[in-house]
Amino acid sequence: MRLSLEKKVISGFGFMLLLLCLIGGAVYQSTTQLVRANRSVKHTLMVLEKLEDVASHLKDAETGQRGYLLTGKVAYLGPYRDATAVLGQEIEALQQLTVGNSAQQRRLNALEPLVVSKLAELDQTIDLRKKAGFEAALQVVLTDRGRLLMDQIRVLINEMREEEKRSLEHYSAAAAARAQFLIGGVALGTLSAFTLTPLAIFVINQEATQRLRAEKARLESEQRFRRLSEATFEAVAISEQGRVLDTNRSFAELFGYEPAQEIGMSAVEFVVPECREGVRQKVALGEENPYETVCLRKDGTTFPAEIRGKMLRSQEHMVRVTAFRDITERKQAEEKLRTYAANLEKVNQELEQFNYIAAHDLKTPLRTIATRMEMLPKQLGPLSGQAQHQMSRILLAVRHMDRLLSDLLAYSRVGTRTELPVFTDSNAIVQHALDNFLNQIQTSGAIIQVEPNLPTVLADPNQVAQVLQNLISNSIKFCRVTPQIRVSATCSQDECTFCVADNGIGIAAGHEQRIFGIFKRLHSQEEYEGTGIGLAIVKRIIEWHGGRTWVESEVDKGSKFFFTLWRADNAGGTGTTDRNLASGRQLR
C-alpha cells in the first residue's frame, strides 16, 4: 500500500509524539518515585538519628547518675537532667516519625515504659544517694535492675535501628534503580529524537523530491504533448465527458475560433446538428475507428470531416482525444471519380450496344445477299463455269464476313455481360464444348481423348466451353492427317493448367505470342479459313478469369495449348469430381 506524504508525515510525527509521551510519562513516574524514595531515605535517616539520640541520652543520663552516685557531686547531675528532659520529647518524635510502621510502633510502645522505668530507677538511686548515702544507692544498683532495663532498651533500639537500616537499604536501592531508569529513559528519548528526526527529514525530503520530479515530468510531458499537437497538421481536441478540455492550434484554425476560445464547449457543437446524435453514440460506444461526418465552423459554414477518437487515461481521468481532418478535397476527388466511373460505365454500355446493333444491322443485309445469291442460279438457268466461280466466291466472302461479325461480337462481349465465376466441374465443360460442334468432329474423323477426372475450377462454364471449343476446333482445322487431340489438366495448390494437345501442323518458332492477337493469322484464307479472332477470344476469356494462356509447338509435330484457371477443389485434391459443383453453384 502506498501512503500519501501527508499520511506518512502525520503517522511519523504521531509515532514520535507517542514515543516522547511514553518516555516523558516513564520519566515523570520514575522521578516521582525517586523523590518518594529519597524522602523515605531521609525519613529513615531521621528515625535512625532519633534512635541514636534516645540511646545516647539514656547513656548520658546513666553516666551522670553514676558520676553522682560515686562522687556525690551535683555537677554530674547536669547531663542527667539534660538527658531526661529531652528523652520524652524524643520518644514522642519517634512515635510521630514511625506512624504507619506498625512494627516500629509496637517496639516504641515497648520501649517507652522501659525508658520510663529506667529513668525511674535512675531517679530512685539519685534520690537515695542524696538522702541515704552511697551505700543505700549502691544496694539498689546492685539489684541489676537498672542494667537489665538498659539491656532491654538497647536490644529494642538495636532492633529498631536494624529495621531502619533495612528500610534505608531498600529505599536507597529503589532510588538508585529509579535514577538508573531515569537516565536510561532520557538517553532513549534523546537517542530516539536524534534518530527519528533525521529519518523523518530524510523521508519527507525523499517524498518531496519525488513529487517535484513527478510534477516536473508531468509538466514536461504536457509541454511535449502540446508541442506535438501544435506540430501536427491535424486538428486535435481533448474532451472529458463531452466537454472540450484542450485543443491545438490547428483545431482553432480549422474551426475558425480564437485559440482557447472553444475550451469548455460541448464537443458535439463542432458537428452539424443532424450528425450530433450519431457522433454521440459513437463516443458513448468508445468508437476508435475513423468515421466520416460533417463539421460546423464558428461562422456556421460546414465541411466534410474524418474523425478519429481514442479514450485515454490522463491523471486518473478518462479523456477522449479526437483528431479532425478536413476531407473536402478527398470528397471532391471521390465524387469526381464516381462521375468518371459512371461515365465510363455509360460509355461501355453504349459501346456494347453499338457493337450489338452494328453486328445485327450488318448481318441482316449480308443474309439477304447470301440468300438471294443462292436463289439466283435457279432464275438464271445454267451458268458458265466462270459465272459459277464468281457466284461461289461472292458467297464465300459473304459467309466469311458473317463469321467475322459473329466473332467480333463474341470478342467484344467477353467480360461485359458474363456471370461471376462459379465452382465448375471441368469434365462437364469439356463435354459441353464437344457437344457444341459434334458435327465438325464427326466430319473430320478426329479422335478426341479426354483425360478422366478433370478438376473443379472457378469459372464461367459457358465461356470456358467457348475456350475449349475454339482450341479443339483449331486443332481439327490445322491438321493434315487424322486429328488426334488430347485434353488434360494438372493442378498445383491454387491453379489448374489445362492442355489441349494435337498432332497438327504446329506453329513456327517466334509466332507463339502473335497467334493470340486479334486478326493475327499465320495462313491465308485459301489454306485455312478463319477470322483470326478465335485465339484472341481464348486469351481474353482466360485473362478475364485471372489465368494465363501460352503455346508449346513444333512444326509438323503438333501443338500444346495451355491455359490456367483457379482451382476450386483444392481441399479434395486432383481428380475428385463433385457432380453437384458441375451444376454451377454461385460463389457469392
Partner 1 sequence: MQGGQGQLIEILLVDDNLDDVEFIQLAFYEARVTNRIHHAADGEAAIAFLQDPSTPRPDLILCDLHMPKMDGSEVLQVIKHDESLKTIPIIMLTSTGVEQELQIYKNYTNCYSLMKPVSFGNFIQVLVQIETLWLQIVS
Site residues (CB under 8 A) for partner 1? Answer: 356, 359-360, 363-364, 366-368, 370-372, 374-375, 395, 398-399, 402, 405-406, 409, 413, 417, 462
Q: Which is nearer to partner 1, 53 or 460 (CB)?
A: 460
Q: Which is nearer to partner 1, 116 or 366 (CB)?
A: 366
Q: Return d(Cα 104, Cα 218) in angstroms, integer.
A: 82
Q: Are 195 and 22 in contact (CB under 8 A)?
A: no
Q: Which three cell numbers stand for residue 278?
A: 450519431
Nearest distance in Å: CB 561, partner 1 = 25
Nearest distance in Å: CB 535, partner 1 = 20
Q: Which is nearer to partner 1, 346 or 360 (CB)?
A: 360
Q: Which is nearer to partner 1, 161 or 413 (CB)?
A: 413
CA 283 to chain centroid:
21
- Pairing of β 484-491 and β 447-450: parallel
Q: Which is nearer to partner 1, 4 or 439 (CB)?
A: 439
Q: Which is nearer to partner 1, 190 or 364 (CB)?
A: 364
By the 10 Å C-beta count (0-12 exposed, 13-18 middle, 19+ buried), 359 is classed as buried
* Selection from 322, 327, 302 nearest residue 312 by Cα: 322
Q: Are 285 and 291 in contact (CB under 8 A)?
A: no
Nearest distance in Å: CB 295, partner 1 = 47
Nearest distance in Å: CB 407, partner 1 = 11
Q: Return d(Cα 248, Cα 328) in angstroms, integer.
A: 21
Q: Return d(Cα 440, Cα 430) in angstroms, integer.
A: 15
Query: Quick count: other Cβ atoms within 10 Å of Cβ 550?
Result: 14
Nearest distance in Å: CB 461, partner 1 = 13
Q: Which is nearer to partner 1, 376 or 587 (CB)?
A: 376
Q: Which is nearer to partner 1, 84 or 424 (CB)?
A: 424
Q: Return d(Cα 357, Cα 345) in angstroms, integer.
A: 18
Q: Are 212 and 50 in contact (CB under 8 A)?
A: no
Q: Are 239 and 267 in contact (CB under 8 A)?
A: yes
Q: Which is nearer to partner 1, 192 or 406 (CB)?
A: 406
Nearest distance in Å: CB 232, partner 1 = 55
Nearest distance in Å: CB 552, partner 1 = 33
Q: Are 207 and 5 in contact (CB under 8 A)?
A: yes
Q: Nearest 5°: phi and psi at 326? A: -75, 120
Q: Return d(Cα 228, Cα 224) in angstroms, integer.
A: 6
Query: Quick count: other Cβ atoms within 10 Å of Cβ 374?
Result: 12
Q: Which is nearer to partner 1, 323 or 359 (CB)?
A: 359
Query: Quick count: other Cβ atoms within 10 Å of Cβ 487?
Result: 22
Q: Return d(Cα 69, Cα 77) in angstroms, integer.
A: 10
Query: Quick count: other Cβ atoms within 10 Å of Cβ 324?
Result: 24
Q: Which three cell numbers stand for residue 385?
A: 463455269
Q: Return d(Cα 255, Cα 342) in angstroms, integer.
A: 34
Nearest distance in Å: CB 242, partner 1 = 55
Q: Which is nearer to partner 1, 167 or 466 (CB)?
A: 466
Q: Return d(Cα 246, Cα 228) in angstroms, integer.
A: 13
Q: Which is nearer to partner 1, 16 or 358 (CB)?
A: 358
Nearest distance in Å: CB 577, partner 1 = 27
Q: Which is nearer to partner 1, 240 or 402 (CB)?
A: 402
Nearest distance in Å: CB 534, partner 1 = 16
Q: Which is nearer to partner 1, 307 or 410 (CB)?
A: 410
Side-chain half-sphere CA neighbours of 400 within 13 A: 14
DSSP secondary structure code for residue 96 in this structure: H
Which H or E element spans position 333?
A: helix 328-380
Distances (CA, A) of 276 to 215, 269, 447: 38, 8, 74
Nearest distance in Å: CB 356, partner 1 = 6
Nearest distance in Å: CB 273, partner 1 = 47
Q: Which three cell numbers stand for residue 250?
A: 490547428
Nearest distance in Å: CB 405, partner 1 = 8
Nearest distance in Å: CB 546, partner 1 = 22
Q: Are 509 and 580 in contact (CB under 8 A)?
A: no
Q: Which is nearer to partner 1, 243 or 367 (CB)?
A: 367
Which H or E element spans position 294?
A: strand 291-296
Length of the chain in terms of residues written: 588
Q: Return d(Cα 198, Cα 313) in angstroms, integer.
A: 38
Nearest distance in Å: CB 358, partner 1 = 10
Q: Return d(Cα 443, Cα 448) in angstroms, integer.
A: 13
